[in-house]
Amino acid sequence: MAITAAICFGSPNPKPIACAAAADAAVINPLISRPRSLTLHRHCWNPSLVAGAPSPRSFAVRCSLSSRPDYIPNLIPDHAYVRIFDTTLRDGEQSPGATMTSSEKITVARLLSRLGVDIIEAGFPASSPDDLEAVRSIAMEVGNKPAEDGHLPVICGLARCNKKDIDAAWEAVRHARRPRVHTFIATSEIHMQHKLRKTREEVVRIAREMVGYVRRLGCEDIEFSPEDAGRSDREFLYHVLEEVIKAGATTVNIPDTVGYTIPHEFGQLISDIKANTRGIENAIISTHCQNDLGLATANTLAGASAGARQLEVTVNGIGERAGNASLEEVVMAIRCRKQTMGGLYTGINTKHINMASKMVAEYSGLHVQPHKAIVGANAFSHESGIHQDGMLKFKGTYEIISPDDIGLSRSNESGIVLGKLSGRHALKSKLTELGYDISGKELDDVFKRFKEIAEKKKRVSDDDIEALISNEIFQPKVIWSLHDLQVTSGTLGLSTATVKLIDSEGVERIACSVGTGPVHAAYEAVNNIVQVRVTLMEYSLNSVTEGIDAVATTRVLIRADHNGHTSTHALTGETLPRTFSGSGADMDVVVSSVRAYISALNKMLGFREISRNEIPSPEAVVA
């Protein structure tokens, strides 16, 4: 078994250490699929040392949170400012399997506000009463409460070009201080002919009338999208845009709906729209790039360079099919290459990127690939010797952005080392350092779990803490919680498990079962208590830290075997059972696995309940 070299950056003289314990962990704990690679990723970074990087002075300007120009729907007082429109909760949620509960959507919206996105597209209110309620709640809460820095995002709802959808969208967003309705209709021949079955004239008329209708409802911030603009006839596109701007559209969004264009083409499209659409100076041009050819970020940046001043993105790039342009890639590219990008800047507080990525991954169940740009687990890791050597000598050799910039702060700023003698204050201070603002009951819960781990582990690392956070904070409403678990397993026969769960009223239930392995036996025991039949679709287990005492995180995806929870396949219209994800963390792999399973069951069981019960009525919130 290979023994990986670890380089520790806490000391001034980093020394490679042989990490036999990590290798051993994989032998002793075969469910841990691979020992976590020990990599070089905790270090300080000095951008001024990067070859070709701007001078420290210009970096200070680049790094400072630029003040945001005043919000005027159809005008940005500073030409260099680019609005970030986040559609994680709408296009992102259209990703297969990415269903989020209403309360999860509200939590994500709160974080998007802290992140500093200019516009939050909170959903498609006509798609279901649940979504309308979720968007309304976001409008009421997040759309009225400025973030700590005073920023107040626009809350937007999507609608087809028909009165019913628009009424639902307006009803949902109108409670925000800055409400926006986004309406769309396809303008490509292929969509008009085969999907809408409408002529060009009909499409222009509908678009104009529906934008006018939004205006008459009292909405002054109106976005219009000619769906499939990337494949639309140019002259027709200019005409549609001119008509909707006359009717009151304040932002015209140019979607590359099927991710068909390539960067120079998409940039040219934006330039051509700017040059040829009458009245375009009265609206903001926006981009919305899907990722079917893996070009969404590149196309978005080309659009910005060509004059688009609103960029539509999602956290982790989730979205319909291959996803959308990713917020973190677009924002960090603009920041990292500011000069090449013509001095453009955004209002994003990049320190919250890491946290937003983690939260969206947990809630959507769509996990980030390790080598994903900016937020992947390996994005700041340096595994190979030559790279490690370069990094040790000069960070700028292999890193173009600092992990600190996205909130991946591993430096021990407070000097606090957490262990079993640490108290709540130390834990809270460490959590704040890591970007988590947690107090009250949430802090108590994390503290309890922290103590359990600290009893068994000499030193609780940042990664351990983050795993606990995912397990305690990013969890659905607790319907069942794990109290006790005992398993026996080995080569002498079937594994057995005894599980004690507590329901939401505090009643304890115990069940036993056998299985082909300890996890199987424990899951069967849980099934005997919870009494819902589900199919386990995916199961993965990873260690978050090195060493034999590593914390293991488990992620599962389950599908309900009964008819209660369904979703509709976008292409075939087929009704499919909905899937629900869950995650768990513990030093014991079976406990971690059971926590993840219960988390997914809670999400499934609570799905309807949360949507109906937890959303305050408009009256309740106003009161």
Ligand X SMILES: CC(=O)SCCNC(=O)CCNC(=O)[C@H](O)C(C)(C)COP(=O)(O)OP(=O)(O)OC[C@H]1O[C@@H](n2cnc3c(N)ncnc32)[C@H](O)[C@@H]1OP(=O)(O)O
Ligand Y SMILES: CC(C)C(=O)C(=O)O
Over the window 241 to 260, marking each residue x when it contacts ligand X by CB under 6 A and - when it does not, the resulting string is ----------------x---
Task: Report angle CA 51, 369, 570 to the nearest 5 degrees.
Answer: 125
In the complex, the smallest distance separating the C-beta of residue 92 from ligand Y, rounded to whole angstroms, is 10
Provide the minimum distance between the beta carbon of 102 and ligand X in the complex, in angstroms, as a whole number: 15
Rounded to the nearest whole angstrom, what is the least distance from the CB of residue 94 to Mg ion in the complex? 7
Q: Which does 196 bind (CB under 5 to 8 A by kind): ligand X, ligand Y, Mg ion, none?
A: ligand X
Alpha helices in 70-128 (DSSP H): 102-115
Question: Interacting stretch for ligand Y, rule CB under 6 A, among 250-258, 417-425, 436-444, 552-560?
Answer: 250-258
79, 195, 448, 459: residue in contact with ligand X (rule CB under 6 A): 195
Shortest approach of ligand X to residue 290 CB, angstroms?
8
Interface with ligand X (CB under 6 A), residue from 196, 392, 479, 511? 196
- Beta carbons of 244 and 211 less than 8 angstroms apart: yes
Whether the CB-CB separation of 314 and 88 falls below 8 Å is answered with yes
CA distance 79 to 19: 53
The phi, psi pair for 180, rounded to 5°, reads -135, 140
Q: Which amino acid is at 438?
A: I
Task: State which of residues 108, 126, 192, 525 lies at the interface with ligand X (CB under 6 A).
Answer: 126
337 binds ligand X (CB under 6 A): no
- CB of residue 237 vs ligand Y: minimum separation in angstroms? 13
- Whole-number Å distance between alpha carbons of 594 and 588: 10
- What is the Cβ-side half-sphere exposure of residue 120, based on CA atoms within 13 angstroms? 36
Least Å distance, CB 156 to ligand Y, is: 11
Q: Which parts of 87-106 interact with ligand X (CB under 6 A)?
A: 91, 94
Q: Which of 99, 127, 188, 225 binds ligand Y (CB under 6 A)?
A: 225
Stretch that binds ligand X, among 73-81, 143-151, 155-163, 388-396 (CB under 6 A): 155-163
User: Pattern of binders to ligand Y over 167-206, x per CB under 6 A?
Assistant: -----------------x----------------------
Closest CA relative to residue 586, chosen from 442, 477, 485: 485
- Least Å distance, CB 551 to ligand X, is 38
- State how far the Cα of 97 lies from the Cα of 95, in Å rounded to an integer: 6
| Three-state DSSP string of 340-399 | CCCCCECCCCHHHHHHHHHHHHHHHCCCCCCCCCCCCCCCCCCCCHHHHHHHHHCHHHCC
Nearest CA to 410 among 44, 25, 14?
44
**Distance between CA atoms of 152 and 146, rounded to whole angstroms?**
5
Beta carbon of residue 325, minimum distance to Mg ion (angstroms, whole number): 10
In the chain, the N- to C-terminal Cα span, in Å, equals 64
Pick the closer one to ligand Y by CB: 288 or 309.
288
325 and 297 Cβ atoms separated by less than 8 Å = yes
85 vs 363 by CB, closer to Mg ion: 85
Considering only residues 22, 85, 91, 475, which one is a binding residue for Mg ion as defined by CB under 5 A? 91
- In the complex with ligand Y, which residue's Cβ is closer, 88 or 553? 88
Task: Report how far residue 577's alpha carbon sits from residue 558's, in angstroms, rounded to the nearest whole number.
Answer: 10
Site string for ligand Y, 130-159 (x = CB under 6 A): ----------------------------x-
Site map (CB under 6 A) of ligand X, residues 156-175, x = contact = ----xxx-------------
| Residue number, 227 or 405, with CB nearest to ligand X | 227
x/- letters, 278..297, toward ligand Y (CB under 6 A): ----------x-x-------
Window 33-92: residues binding ligand Y (CB under 6 A)? 91
Tokens of 366: 């769509």
Stretch that binds ligand Y, among 249-257, 327-335, 413-421, 536-544 (CB under 6 A): 249-257
Q: Which amino acid is at 260?
A: Y
- Would you say 237 and 257 are in contact if contact means Cβ atoms under 8 Å apart? no
The correct pick among 86, 141, 227, 472 for binding ligand X (CB under 6 A) is 227
CA distance 577 to 598: 19
Question: Considering the complex, what minimum distance in angstroms separates the CB of residue 125 from Mg ion?
Answer: 17
The reply on whether position 255 binds ligand Y by CB under 6 A is yes
Nearest residue to ligand Y, scored by beta-carbon proximity: 255
* DSSP-derived 3-state class of residue 321: coil
For residue 128, what are the β-bridge partners?
A: none
Q: Considering only residues 556-585, where is the footprint of ligand X by CB under 6 A?
A: none
d(CA 101, CA 437): 22
- Tell me how far, at minimum, the Cβ of 299 lies from ligand X, in Å: 16
Assess 523 for contact with ligand X (CB under 6 A): no
d(CA 237, CA 248): 17
In angstroms, what is the minimal distance from the CB of 185 to ligand X? 4
Q: According to CB under 6 A, which one of 104, 130, 133, 227 is a site residue for ligand Y?
A: 227
Strand 154-160 and strand 179-186: the pairing is parallel
The DSSP letter of residue 55 is P
In angstroms, give the least distance from the CB of 584 to ligand X: 31
Could you give the count of Cα atoms lying within 13 Å of 114 in the half-sphere of its Cβ? 17
Q: Which does 225 bind (CB under 5 to 8 A by kind): ligand X, ligand Y, Mg ion, none?
A: ligand Y
Task: Return the HEC string of 559-612.
Answer: EECCCCCEEECCCCCCEEECEEEEEEEECCHHHHHHHHHHHHHHHHHHHHHHHH
Q: Please say which residue, 35 or 123, places its beta carbon nearer to Mg ion.
A: 123
Cα separation, 61 vs 143, in Å, equals 30
The answer to whether the CB of 362 falls within 8 A of the CB of 583 is yes
117 φ, ψ to 5°?
-65, 145
Per the CB < 8 A criterion, the answer to whether 103 and 614 are in contact is yes
In this structure, what are the phi and psi dihedrals at residue 611, rounded to the nearest 5 degrees?
A: -60, -40
Do 559 and 535 form a contact (C-beta atoms < 8 A)?
A: yes
Q: Give the nearer residue to ligand Y in terms of CB position, either 101 or 290.
A: 290
Closer to ligand Y by Cβ: residue 171 or 228: 228
For ligand X, the binding residues (CB under 6 A) are: 91, 94, 124, 126-127, 160-162, 184-185, 195-196, 227, 257, 320
Which parts of this chain interact with Mg ion (CB under 5 A)?
Answer: 91
Instruction: Provide the binding-site residues for ligand Y, judged by CB under 6 A.
Output: 91, 158, 184, 225, 227, 253, 255, 257, 288, 290
